[in-house]
């Protein structure tokens, strides 16, 4: 029940132990230590420049904070829960190391603008890291696509075989999703990189601070425009959690396909040993646990987003302690997303595609039915009628247990006398893929162009 050094002045005794444990945040916000120290150093330098403290005092604070950082990194720093949070832990140790001048660090600042700055700096770095991982994963999809431009598989709608597509085209769909995710991360990072320092508790301060120079010193894009908004909002956390949720959702769709494709009934992929597990009871099994876990982990990232939205709802301006609850959801989502992106890159790199099975699955699903209908349209039959004739041809082929291309010409002509020998070239599955050269289609030129466009985007990323 020790008295808190930061606000204990008017309190006769400290909080009850259970209450202290309930309110402390150092056990998780210590993750922000490096960014908190960076922010404090920038603040101290600015106080020195503005003459609020002397240049010598500023230098002492900056050096002292560097020593605190070294202690944290070599493990000698002693974290104290009764000092509540990362900010007070660092400031208390700074004062032990440099003496009374340490107590000047907080001049013109409140933990309300401080915590927001530390978190923004931390998140900006994490968003940058997410983006690098997303770009790397997109590059992996592109490189796998590059070597499967000539392989085809059934493209599905409603999880039913629809039309043949190239495996490259299918894989590139994920690369495009990841490109948008990476762009969302960059966009979110731009808004995160706004410095709230100088807002102080909520109303600004009487000291002649220079928030712009602090922002520039920290590589931020600018400063707050309203001190109340600066300390009260966490929309940037919600936004980042949405970006993380969306990216995880994309990964989960790919996981779902890997799980389905690994089922022997499909047999489209063989799971790499390093990304599968066996069963303790059924020796034949190879389970897609990694893909399943990744699909499951989307739940916790969505949970973080839902938590953050709920925390914010109805909060009166400005800072409320509720806002301390912003960190754990973000830290959990950060860990989940970062590891998922890395694991997915490894798994995609090693996934073995069974292109023979994919090719023969096209034949089983009448995937050339649209080709026959389009062929009939080319012969002057209205599309609705062509659709009907094709349906009859499919029914006949199904009855005989054959593909459309295995029906004899007379059998086809019995359904429509405008069908000629040239129909067989049209019913060819690879040809069906080759003919779809409209923009973004599965045709080989379109796919090559997608690969070139994605490669150019990847090369342009810093």
| Cα–Cα dist 134/344, whole Å | 10
- Residue number with CB closer to ligand ARG (41 or 112): 112
Residues lying near ligand ARG in the complex (CB under 6 A) are found at 25, 29, 85, 111-112, 115, 319, 321, 323-324
Q: Which residues pair with 153 in a beta bridge?
A: 165
| Cα–Cα dist 283/286, whole Å | 8
Q: Tokens 């045709």 identify what position?
A: 443
**DSSP character at residue 32:** G
| Cα–Cα dist 129/132, whole Å | 5
- Residue number with CB closer to ligand ARG (109 or 148): 109
Residue 231 CB, shortest distance to ligand ARG, in Å, is: 9
- Residue number with CB closer to ligand ARG (311 or 323): 323
| Cα–Cα dist 455/457, whole Å | 5
Residue 204 CB, shortest distance to ligand ARG, in Å, is: 16
- Per the annotation, the verdict on 279 as an active-site residue is yes
- Residue number with CB closer to ligand ARG (15 or 288): 15
Burial 405-435 (b: 16+ CB within 10 A, else e): bebeeeebeebbeebeeebbebbebeebbee
Token readout for 172 is: 């590139």
- Per the annotation, the verdict on 158 as an active-site residue is yes
Residue 86 CB, shortest distance to ligand ARG, in Å, is: 8
Residue 99 CB, shortest distance to ligand ARG, in Å, is: 25
The catalytic residue among 158, 245, 280, 446 is 158
Burial 176-202 (b: 16+ CB within 10 A, else e): bbbbebbebbbebbeebbbbbbbbbeb
- Residue number with CB closer to ligand ARG (174 or 319): 319
Residue 148 CB, shortest distance to ligand ARG, in Å, is: 49
- Residue number with CB closer to ligand ARG (200 or 254): 200
At CA 256, angle to CA 252 and CA 262, rounded to 5? 140
Token readout for 234 is: 């966490």
Question: Which H, E and C letters describe 158-224, residue by residue?
Answer: CCEEEEEEEHHHHHHHHHHHHHHHHHHHHHHHHHHCEECCCCCCCCCCCCCCCHHHHHHHCCCCEEC
Please give the radius of gyration of the chain, using alpha carbons only, rounded to the nearest integer: 30
The catalytic residue among 2, 27, 147, 279 is 279
How far does Cα 158 stand from its chain's mean position? Answer: 26
Residue 214 CB, shortest distance to ligand ARG, in Å, is: 18
* Residues labelled catalytic: 158, 279
């Amino acid at each position: 029940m020790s008295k808190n050094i930061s606000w204990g002045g008017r309190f006769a005794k400290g909080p009850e132990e259970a209450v202290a444990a309930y309110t402390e945040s150092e056990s998780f916000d210590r993750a922000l230590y490096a960014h908190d120290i960076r922010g404090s150093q920038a603040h101290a330098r600015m106080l020195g420049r503005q003459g609020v403290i002397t240049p010598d005092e500023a230098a002492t604070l900056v050096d002292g904070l560097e020593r605190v950082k070294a202690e944290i990194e070599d493990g000698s720093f002693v974290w104290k829960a009764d000092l509540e949070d990362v900010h007070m832990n660092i400031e208390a140790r700074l004062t032990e190391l440099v003496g009374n001048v340490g107590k000047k660090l907080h001049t013109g600042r409140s933990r309300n603008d401080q915590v927001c700055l530390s978190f923004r700096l931390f998140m900006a770095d994490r968003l940058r890291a997410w983006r690098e991982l997303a770009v790397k994963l997109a590059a992996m999809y592109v490189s796998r696509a590059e070597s499967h431009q000539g392989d085809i598989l059934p493209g599905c709608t409603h999880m039913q075989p629809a039309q043949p597509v190239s495996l490259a085209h299918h894989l590139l769909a994920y690369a495009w999703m990841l490109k948008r995710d990476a762009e969302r991360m960059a966009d979110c990072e731009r808004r995160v990189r706004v410095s709230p320092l100088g807002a102080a508790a909520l109303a600004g301060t009487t000291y002649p601070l220079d928030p712009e120079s602090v922002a520039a010193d920290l590589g931020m894009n600018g400063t707050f425009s309203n001190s109340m908004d600066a300390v009260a909002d966490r929309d940037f956390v919600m936004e980042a959690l949405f970006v993380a949720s969306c990216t995880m959702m994309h990964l989960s769709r790919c996981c779902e396909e890997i799980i389905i494709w690994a089922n022997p009934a499909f047999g489209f992929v063989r799971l790499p040993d390093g990304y599968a597990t066996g069963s303790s009871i059924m020796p034949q099994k190879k389970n897609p646990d990694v893909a399943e876990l990744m699909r499951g982990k989307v739940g916790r990232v969505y949970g973080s987003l839902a938590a953050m939205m709920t925390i914010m709802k109805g909060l009166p301006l400005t800072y409320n302690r509720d806002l301390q609850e912003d960190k754990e959801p973000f830290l959990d989502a950060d860990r989940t997303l970062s590891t998922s992106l890395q694991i997915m890159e490894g798994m995609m790199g090693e996934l073995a595609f069974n292109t023979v099975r994919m090719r023969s699955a096209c034949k089983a699903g009448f995937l050339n039915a649209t080709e026959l209908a389009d062929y009939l349209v080319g012969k002057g039959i209205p599309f609705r009628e062509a659709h009907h004739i094709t349906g009859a041809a499919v029914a006949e082929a199904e009855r005989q247990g054959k593909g459309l291309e295995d029906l004899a010409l007379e059998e086809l002509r019995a359904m429509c006398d405008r069908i000629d020998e040239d129909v067989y070239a049209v019913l060819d599955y690879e040809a069906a893929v080759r003919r779809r050269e409209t923009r973004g289609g599965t045709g080989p030129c379109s796919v090559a162009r997608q690969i070139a466009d994605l490669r150019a985007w990847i090369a342009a990323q810093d």
